[in-house]
Structure 1
Amino acid sequence: MCGILCAVSHDADSNFQSLIEALKGLMKNRGPDKQAEIKLNYETGNILLAGSVLWQQGADLQKQPINGGNFIILFNGDFYNLQKPDNISDTAFIANKLAKCNNAEQIISVLKLLEGPHSLIIFDKRDQILYFSRDTLGRNSLIIERTQYGINLLSTSGYFNSNQLSLELPPLGVYQINTNNLTSCFLHLWQPMNEYAEQLLYNLDVVVGLKTTVESIISPSWLLKKNLEFDYDFYKFPYNADHVELYQNLINQPQIKASLNTLDKLLSNSVANRVKCTAPLCRICLSELNQKETVCRHAKICILFSGGIDCTILALLANKFVPYNEPIELINVAFESLSGQNVSEKLWDVPDRRTSLMSVNELKRICPERFWNLLEVNVTREELKTQLSTRIKNLIYPLQTILDESLGCAYWFASNCPNSTARVALIGSGADELFGGYCRHRNAYRRCLGTNSERQLSVQSELDVDWQRIPARNLARDDRVIADNGKTARSPFIEENIVQFLRSLEPFQKCCFSFPEGVGDKLLLRLYGYKIGLRDVALLKKRAIQFGSRIANKRENASAQSEHLKCNT
């Protein structure tokens, strides 16, 4: 994970320079291993490209920005499912590809084939054109902002003055701007526009002061709907209050078994890529002077661990690919009770702490040879207030809701765990959106009084809404707060092949809301967990991290503006 920054200024005064230094300071935590920059001066203004690198891939540390022929490249993320030598960094890989390009069409043809979470900035030195994008699934952060000096593109920002207008860049495709005209933008779409995408594009133009023209539709091949031949319907199976009998019956059905086998292959491959593609040293050993001679047996992988089905499955799969003599960290966060209790062990006895203890015992039962290192992070209200007001609010920016505050703080404190040596954090993002795990999915089924087909259409509509908004609702923010602690957040469920597979299944092949809560929601994933050995965990009800960690009050309106995140004008 890296911090990337591109500032285009038509007025390079001292205030602009001080702003850039502040922004580079925010980037450094994302990339503590190496910082570099390139400054270019043109008649119409100045361009700064700066990168802060967290070494995760390649045989050696690769600084950024990097020159690739006529282009300067800034890259944040990871490429997967590509034919790429292991000893070359992703940044060098894409730079080599782009160096052979001579025009926009060739650049787009290269970017179309990229898979994996990333954000990318490319500057064409000859034609003075910026190309920039977030990946098709919007997993990594890239903020675009209009200032009195020009335009900034950057991984993390913060509110500095009233002349600044910022927005998370909608992950709609590859954007193209001539730096001599910062009001006109061309967009090469990942996929055809719909009503939601049109609204995102309208918001971008209004907030940042652009006039964006759709130039082409790229349509990466994995986005095309895949025709599957699985023929089963969870609603056709009876439930007699015995979940063990139900689950055993379901996983033995030939078509369901085939679906689970496909899920196992895809999810195992996704976890393997995200566990294996990392530097050979933990954050402590990386700071040693003689890095080449260091043999590191510390944990390099952690799971942000509530104890729920999603993260426990990731832990169990990670066990297959992490060297047997390395621990795996399970980081659980709890916030001080608001009930006024005296400080004691019970103060941290929050729901997620209890489920984490239960789930780690299941992991020890299934994989007794692994050292599962459960790290408990206990956060006082005073610590929460201090970090939120001095640092976390800048990482959450430009988002401002109570929900953003709660989730952002929970992920920041978990990834900030002082006893953690890991530089990669696996998180369960996307599981609820893909498998049907939210109460609103169940409500969509129950509140529809039509036919079975109409009920399934209602559930599908709710799943589609959740899937469309996950980049803006979760992913970019989580990337910013976790990366601030020198960790790369990796979400194995949100992987191109998994998404294609699960989005091609019908709702009744992923969840079943005629079964009780904790049994039928995310049913396909629960069956998978049961199949690989999980028992108690497979029946845990969905619980949002903000409530499980007790950072949030259920009586608050999650969509209301947070008083702590307000931008004072």
Structure 2
Amino acid sequence: MCGIHVDVRRSAGTGALRSFLHHCLCNRGPDHFGQVTAPLNAPGSEDDDAFLTFTSTVLSLRGDHVTKQPFQDRQTGSVLCWNGEAWKIDGRAIQGNDGEAVFALLSDASSSGTGSSNTILEALRSIEGPFAFVYFDAPSKTLYFGRDRLGRRSLLICHDDTEGSLVISSVAETCDDKWKEVEADGVYSVALHAGLFSSPYAPPSRHEWLPETGAEFVSLPVVTVDVTSLIGIFNTALPTGNAVLLSSSPAVSALRDQLTASLSLRVLNIPEPPVNGSTSNTRVAVLFSGGLDCTVLARLSHDLLPPDQAVDLLNVAFENPRVAAQLHKQAKGAPVDVYEACPDRITGRKAYAELRSVCPGRVFRFVAVNVPYTETCAHRARIISLIHPHNTEMDLSIACALYFAARGQGSCHEDTDPDVSTAVYTTPARVLLSGLGADELFGGYVRHPSAFERAGYPGLIDELKLDVGRLGKRNLGRDDRAMAHWGKEVRFPFLDERLVKWAIETPAWEKCDFDNAEEISGVEAGKRVLRLVARELGMEQVAREKKRAIQFGSRTAKMESGRVKGTMLIS
């Protein structure tokens, strides 16, 4: 995880980072701070009217050394600010540092492109992984920027004609309406011509992620209404006959294989975290509610990780004063633990017990992250600034849970690992696993059976397409900004491009079997394919766990009033 900030201004010396932004960028990338500043044109030329400042901070998670950013080609002056992970280029796994590999790819494309943008765009389209980037191609004086096809990393843009500035950043400098989230629908470019700020502002040009030819996972027709996230074509076929999803169905073993491949990229070969006072050998932590999605990730991680590596399970619970008052009233003077009464704490401890039973020998460390109401209030303004331009009560309640969970600080008492048993424990893991994407891909929300009841499989398919298509706009940039603030990188195994492609090209009834009752397969219809995977992994209890939204499971929603609606703007 890294921080990106690129500033293009009319005047030199006016692009200094504000203290809040400097703090946020360094929190995202605590291992290195780098900056490159240059005039757009040669000094003294008539066109010397813009200055570029590139800032990168680095959280080092790839390769055997800290790779400094921004990357700069000393011969051409081209610069790259890179945030995220490039797992593969042209279908081939990257060995060593991915940022260096991407910069070499773009430099070669620039030098061989003879001024054309096509070679640079083709190079960018060949990258698989979650990322955001800004690349200045000095020979053509063009700024390229964007987010991956699913929008798994944050990138914001702000244009200000009055100041004469164009800013692209991982985090907004201010909470005003000039900041917009860069859409994850293509690569954007701006020609940094003479008089950039003196003429009417022209919006950046958008270039489709879809190539005419390219890697297997994006080889698609350019025009089709069923392309989802520019990765695959959604399967809209309807079942014929009596199609039933069972443990023996091919989709169940296929999903397990897809998840294993995705997790292998995300949990193996993580560098040992810097010494932080902990003696634990923990490199991976799971955002852990005890629900189906996150517990399957923890269970499969056990099959992949070396036996001496512990896995931290970060379970967050909040003191909600409105709910706490009700609990104390019901207890009639008896002691009440408001944190242990949280729904996600209850399911979390149950799933933790099942993991320990199914995976003997693995240290799963349950970290109880308890957040008093006073602490929620103390951090509220910061969280609002981080998630901007998202600004609803639902955004805030979800971000609060993710923000404190990612901090990874809580109580931990382990009989299996007494050396780290402590009342205050902070996970040393800098990689977090999230189950986000499973509900959208496999029909896990309440609205999915409702859509099926209204319009059968056609209605369900339309709802699934809508959910997958808006992940980058609704969730991922906001969540990235909230969690990366603690120097952590959140990884989404369910949102691997190849897994997403497989999922959307698989018929709906092979994912969520609403045509057949629970008694036939033993698990409910929503996310049935994933529930059957959990059962095959020995997680019988988890396979039957109901879906619960994080803001209600951790009790961040409706803290002051039960009448607050999620769509209301933050006051």
CA change 1:153–1:234 in 2 (3 A) is: farther
Equivalent residues in 2 for 1:535-546, closer than 5 Å: 535-546=540-551
Deviation at 1:126, TM superposition (A): 2.8
Q: 1:414 aligns with which of 400, 405, 409?
A: 405
One-letter code of the match for 1:175?
Answer: Y
CA distance in 2, matches of 1:235, 1:30: 51
One-letter code of the match for 2:545?
Answer: L
Query: Is 1:326 matched with 2:309?
Result: yes
Query: Is 1:159 matched with 2:174?
Result: yes
Larger CA deviation: 4-13 vs 377-386: 4-13
Query: Is 1:118 matched with 2:131?
Result: yes
CA change 1:105–1:555 in 2 (3 A) is: same
One-letter code of the match for 2:403?
Answer: W
1:473 alignment counterpart? 474
Equivalent residues in 2 for 1:113-262, closer than 5 Å: 113-147=126-160, 148-159=163-174, 165-180=178-193, 181=196, 183-184=201-202, 185-191=204-210, 221-223=216-218, 224=220, 225=232, 236-237=243-244, 250-252=246-248, 256=249, 258-262=250-254
CA change 1:116–1:392 in 2 (3 A) is: same
CA distance in 1, matches of 2:368, 2:408: 8
Equivalent residues in 2 for 1:299-314, closer than 5 Å: 299-314=282-297
Deviation at 1:446, TM superposition (A): 1.3
CA contact (8 A) 1:233 1:509 kept: no
CA distance in 1, matches of 2:259, 2:288: 18
Q: 1:552 aligns with which of 532, 546, 557?
A: 557
Deviation at 1:346, TM superposition (A): 4.0
CA distance in 1, matches of 2:35, 2:499: 37
1:3 alignment counterpart? 3
SS of the residue aligned with 2:167? strand
Equivalent residues in 2 for 1:329-344, closer than 5 Å: 329-338=312-321, 339-340=324-325, 341=328, 344=336
CA distance in 2, matches of 1:334, 1:234: 46
Query: Is 1:317 matched with 2:281?
Result: no
Deviation at 1:3, TM superposition (A): 0.4
CA distance in 1, matches of 2:13, 2:316: 44
Deviation at 1:262, TM superposition (A): 1.6
CA contact (8 A) 1:79 1:115 kept: yes
SS of the residue aligned with 1:17? coil
How many residue pairs get matched? Answer: 503
Equivalent residues in 2 for 1:514-533, closer than 5 Å: 514=515, 515=517, 519-533=524-538
SS of the residue aligned with 1:493? helix
CA contact (8 A) 1:133 1:171 kept: yes
CA change 1:145–1:231 in 2 (3 A) is: closer
Equivalent residues in 2 for 1:282-297, closer than 5 Å: 282-284=273-275, 297=280
CA distance in 1, matches of 2:482, 2:213: 31
SS of the residue aligned with 2:146? strand
How big is each residue's C-alpha offset from its partner over 1:483-507, in whole Å with a ceiling of 9 and x where there is no partner?
1111100000001111111101122
CA distance in 2, matches of 1:527, 1:301: 25
Alignment gaps of 5+ in structure 1: 192-215, 238-246, 289-295, 449-454, 564-569
SS of the residue aligned with 1:151? strand
1:25 alignment counterpart? 23
CA contact (8 A) 1:158 1:397 kept: no
CA distance in 2, matches of 1:234, 1:59: 55
SS of the residue aligned with 1:51? strand
Query: Is 1:269 matched with 2:261?
Result: yes
Larger CA deviation: 127-136 vs 542-551: 127-136
CA distance in 2, matches of 1:153, 1:217: 28
One-letter code of the match for 1:5?
Answer: H
Deviation at 1:232, TM superposition (A): 7.3
How big is each residue's C-alpha offset from its partner over 1:167-203, in whole Å with a ceiling of 9 and x where there is no partner?
1100111111012336332211124xxxxxxxxxxxx
Larger CA deviation: 171-180 vs 344-353: 344-353
1:493 alignment counterpart? 494
1:403 alignment counterpart? 394
2:229 alignment counterpart? none
Query: Is 1:65 matched with 2:70?
Result: yes
2:43 alignment counterpart? none
CA change 1:541–1:337 in 2 (3 A) is: same
1:566 alignment counterpart? none
RMSD value over aligned CA atoms?
Answer: 2.5
How big is each residue's C-alpha offset from its partner over 1:387-442, in whole Å with a ceiling of 9 and x where there is no partner?
112x2111111110111101111000001123111000000010000000011111
CA contact (8 A) 1:401 1:558 kept: yes
CA distance in 2, matches of 1:529, 1:232: 25
CA contact (8 A) 1:337 1:348 kept: no
Deviation at 1:516, TM superposition (A): 5.5
CA contact (8 A) 1:319 1:370 kept: yes
One-letter code of the match for 1:154?
Answer: S
1:109 alignment counterpart? 122
Q: Determine what percentage of the aligned residue pairs are the same residue.
A: 31
CA distance in 2, matches of 1:354, 1:59: 40
One-letter code of the match for 1:490?
Answer: R
CA contact (8 A) 1:235 1:508 kept: no
Deviation at 1:135, TM superposition (A): 0.5
2:86 alignment counterpart? 79
SS of the residue aligned with 2:127? coil
How big is each residue's C-alpha offset from its partner over 1:315-364, in whole Å with a ceiling of 9 and x where there is no partner?
01111222211210000000003232488424441000000010011111
One-letter code of the match for 1:457?
Answer: P
One-letter code of the match for 1:11?
Answer: S
Larger CA deviation: 548-557 vs 259-268: 548-557
CA contact (8 A) 2:81 2:134 kept: yes
Alignment gaps of 5+ in structure 2: 41-47, 221-231, 410-425
Larger CA deviation: 128-137 vs 96-105: 96-105
One-letter code of the match for 1:94?
Answer: V
SS of the residue aligned with 2:88? coil
CA change 1:10–1:227 in 2 (3 A) is: closer
CA distance in 1, matches of 2:290, 2:169: 34
1:197 alignment counterpart? none
CA distance in 2, matches of 1:174, 1:6: 16
One-letter code of the match for 1:527?
Answer: L
SS of the residue aligned with 2:264? helix
CA distance in 2, matches of 1:179, 1:218: 29
SS of the residue aligned with 2:128? coil
Q: 1:46 aligns with which of 51, 61, 67?
A: 51
Query: Is 1:561 matched with 2:569?
Result: yes
